[in-house]
Structure formats: C-alpha cells, structure tokens
Amino acid sequence: MSVTFEIAPGGALTGTMLGALAAGDTTVDGFLEGADSLATLAAFEAMGIAVEHPAPGRLVVHGRGLDGLQDPGQPLDLGNSGTSMRLLCGLLAGQRFDTTLVGDASLSRRPMRRVTEPLARMGARIDATPDGTAPLTIHGGQPLHAIEYEMPVASAQVKSALLLAGLYADGVTRVSEPAPTRDHTERMLTALGARIERDGATVAVHGRPVLRGTALTVPADISSAAFFLVGASLAPGSDLTLTGVGINPTRTGVIDILRAMGADIDVSNPREEGGEPVADLRVRGRPLRGIEIPEALVPLAIDEFPVLFVAAACAEGTTTLHGAAELRVKESDRIGVMAEGLAALGIDARPSDDGMTVVGGRLKGGRIDSHGDHRIAMAFAIAALRAEGAVTVTDCANVDTSFPGFVASAGACGLRIVSRH
C-alpha cells in the first residue's frame, strides 16, 4: 500500500496528549497496537500462546512457562521489526523445535551476525544467508551454556537476545556493554521473577528461573514522544504537554540533547508504573542553537536522531554528530537518507561515516522520499512546522509499525497533515 503525507507549512503544537514465558496470566496495559508489536504478538500466538484483547491497549497473555512454546509449523513473519527478530533469536535458541524467522525487504537487509555469533558461542545453531541476514533458521534441541560476553558495540537488542537465551542456559550469563543501553528487558524479567544482577556495565541472568505472570504497564514511548518534543521546541508559540511518558534513564538522551540546544522542557510529576519511571513533559517553543552532540548521549538517543537532525536544521549555527555509525544499518541508512532529504529542503547537511554536520538555515518546501523508514517519514512531517512551503513525504506506510495514529495525533496538536492512499 502506498501512503503519502502532505503537510502544509507553519503552525504550532499545543494541548495535552494523553509475558508469554511466564506461568500464569500476565496483564499488559498500554499495549501499542503498531505493526511491530502485532507481528510479535502473532508470532507467540502461532507458538501456542493464548492472548485475549479485552479492551483497546489491554492484553491478557496466558503464559505456559519457559518450556511451553510449541512448534509454529511455519515461518514466523516479523514484518519490519528488527527488535522482534533479534530478541526472538535469543528466545528460540533454547527451544526444542526448529523455527524460521522472515521479514519484509527492509528487515531482510539488516545485519544479524551481531546476534547470531554470540548466540553460537552459547551453543545455538542459527542459519542465515551468506550476508548474515534473514531468513534465519534457529535449530531447536541445542543445549545452551552460559557465557561472559563483552559487546563490541552498545546494543540493547543484542544484550536482550543474550539475556533471553540465558534463561535457558545452565549457569549465569553475563553481558558487558561499552555504553549504557535501554534496560527494559532486565526490568521486565525482574518483574516476572528472574534473577537479574547489575554490576557496573555488566548485567547477568541466572539460568532456568521460574517465571510468574504479573501485571505490566507500558509507559508512553519516548521515541514516539520525541517527534512532538522536537516539533513543539522548534515551532514558535507551541505549548504542549505529554503525559505519562517513560523517562527510563537509558532512553532520555533526546531530552538531554534538546535541552543542550536550548529547548524549554519541564519534567514534572515523576512516578513509577510497572517498574518503569514515567513523568509528564511540558515543552514550549524557543529558539534552538547548534551544538556538538556528546558521544556519551548517542546510545541513549539512537532512534531519535532522524527528528533531532530536523531540530539541528532549524537551530542557529552548526550541529555535529559523531559515533553513530549504527544509524547506517537501521530500517534505512538514516544518515544518508536524512542528509538527502534535508538537502532537498535547502539545508546544508554533510554526512560522514558515523554521523552528520548540519548547518541550521531556512527550510524550503519540497518532496521527500522516506525510503519506507517510519522515523524518517515522521521526522520530515515535523519539519514542515518551520518550512516555507508545503512538504510531501512519500512511502509512509511503515509509520504504522511504531506509531499507529501518528497523523491523527499530530493533527490534533496542530500539524496540518493529510495522509493520502
């Protein structure tokens, strides 16, 4: 399906925006019904896990324990979700049956050796293409053993895959990361009863725990909130409050970077929901300035850089990013695609191997190819707030993978956006 966003220039954003492995039932509130999440859910249902949907955003998962998954009898299609594919590699490495994981054209180009190689050290057998990409066939019945693994590149997906495999390994699996990455998996496993230990940069999981169902609340995703944080920061007259946003310290790099650029972001009403810190965020329009982004913040904002590049384009002066080579192997080459799109809007954007230099300026209107990347599409939709002419963004169907309802939510806040099919 072809989807194109058409966004009129100008405006401001205002208003307020409001476990299958456990034995027993797990209730999930705040479930985001995007394509990525639904693909993962369908995979577990294909492996024999019963899931009820009693209300929008609520699930009841009837878990069957660590060894309760069943042979799906067919490949599991994970669509565009790299997170799902990499985490399921770890989980399925400990099963008794063979499983094949497939995805769309974009996912089938993404590198998987970063997960399959350390899993092989644990005893897993995973077949991939000669390029190390999907389809992936995970052979069941392989005894797993604990390892100590130092990740060469910070990656929450790799860490989570190894921790999930470690549930099935004898002994204690330890993973050391060169920089902090999101820790949602550790928090969730702890809530389900796993024994998780943290020692500095190393996280460990004890094998063969007894997991118990529980109630989980999923906070509003800061990666989704980032588009509105940037949009309200760069559009004069904006005053937007985002309620109940997850502010896990491994995810708040976008707030730190925007504040360093001069953004007016207030964090209030901090609390904890489902083991995760959340708060309300109020952001008001204010002139931004270019900065050199600290490399220590890169892993804490890796998914938010497409829209942060838009912030840089609207800032006074020059913004420089290094240490983000990971952006080259996301759903698209996010460095190359963003540089191409910003240039089409009249901005001086100079890509490098591991980042970009963006010189702030005046954005023209124009036509942007998102290359099927949901975050690219939403970032350029936000750019229209400061553009001198209309912005058209093509190939936007995958926006539903991470943010179903983006057009409606953005429109309700003041973005003049229309989706054409």
Query: Per the residue annotation, which of 36, 183, 280, 303 is the catalytic one?
Result: 303
The CATH number assigned to the domain with range 23-213 reads 3.65.10.10
pLDDT, tens digit, for every residue of 371-414? 999 999 999 999 999 999 999 999 999 998 888 889 999 999 99
pLDDT at 29 over 90: no
From 10-14, 93-97, 292-296, 308-312, the region with the lowest mean pLDDT = 10-14
Please state the domain extents for the chain: 4-17+219-420, 23-213
- pLDDT for 220: 84
What is the spatial distance between Cα 73 and Cα 210, in angstroms, rounded to a whole number? 27
Q: How confident is the model at residue 30 (pLDDT cuts 50, 70, 90)?
A: confident
Interval 195-212 mean pLDDT: 95
pLDDT at 234 over 70: yes
- pLDDT for 404: 84
- pLDDT for 23: 62
- pLDDT for 274: 67
Interval 114-128 mean pLDDT: 98
Q: How confident is the model at residue 343 (pLDDT cuts 50, 70, 90)?
A: very high
Interval 117-136 mean pLDDT: 98
Interval 3-7 mean pLDDT: 95
303 is catalytic: yes
pLDDT, tens digit, for every residue of 186-199? 988 998 999 999 99
- pLDDT for 20: 52
- Average pLDDT value for the chain: 94
What is the longest distance spanned by two Cα atoms in the chain? 61
- pLDDT for 103: 96
Tokens coding 52: 């009820």
- pLDDT for 156: 92
CB atoms within 10 A of CB 216: 22
**Strand 148-150 vs strand 23-29: parallel, antiparallel, or unpaired?**
unpaired
- pLDDT for 230: 98
SS3 359: strand
CB atoms within 10 A of CB 74: 10
E strand intervals along 274-375: 276-284, 318-321, 348-352, 355-359, 366-369
pLDDT, tens digit, for every residue of 314-332? 999 999 999 999 999 999 9
Query: Is the whole model's pTM more than 0.85, yes or no?
Result: no
From 48-57, 137-146, 333-342, 367-376, the region with the lowest mean pLDDT = 48-57
* DSSP labels, 6-28: EE-S----EEEE--TTSEEEEEE
Please determine whether the domains at 4-17+219-420 and 23-213 fall in the same fold group of CATH: yes
pLDDT at 56 over 90: no
| Per CATH, domain 4-17+219-420 is 3.40.50.1100 | no
Q: How confident is the model at residue 22 (pLDDT cuts 50, 70, 90)?
A: low
- Dihedral (CA of 42, 304, 369, 415) sign: positive
- Dihedral (CA of 99, 29, 157, 1) sign: positive
- Name every residue whose Cβ is closer than 8 Å to that of residue 267 and which is 6 or more positions away in sequence: 247, 255, 279, 280, 281
Q: How confident is the model at residue 32 (pLDDT cuts 50, 70, 90)?
A: confident
